[in-house]
Chains A and B, each alone.
Chain A
Amino acid sequence: EVQLLESGGDLVQPGGSLTLSCAASGFSFSSFAMRWVRQAQGKGLEWVSGINDNGRNTNYADSVRRRFIISRDNSKSTLYLQMTDLRAEDTAVYYCAKRGGRGYHDLWGRGTLVTVSS
Chain B
Amino acid sequence: EIVLTQSPATLSLSPGDRATLSCRASQSIATSLAWYQQKPGRTPRLLIYDASNRATGIPARFSGGGSGTDFTLTISSLEPEDFAVYYCQQFINWPITFGQGTRLEIK
Contact = CB atoms under 8 A, between A and B. Distances in A.
B15 to A, nearest CB: 26
A106 B49 contact: yes
A102 B43 contact: no
How many chain A residues sit at the interface, stated as a range, is: 20 to 34
B43 A45 contact: no
Contacts, number: 56
A61 interface: yes
Contact of B43 (A35, A46, A95, A106): A95
A59 to B, nearest CB: 5
A104 B89 contact: yes
- Identify whether the interface residues of A are mostly helix, strand, loop, or mixed: strand
- Identify whether the interface residues of B are mostly helix, strand, loop, or mixed: loop
Contact of B55 (A61, A95, A106): A106
B46 A45 contact: no
Contact of A44 (B43, B92, B101): B101
Contacts of B32: 102-103
B105 interface: no
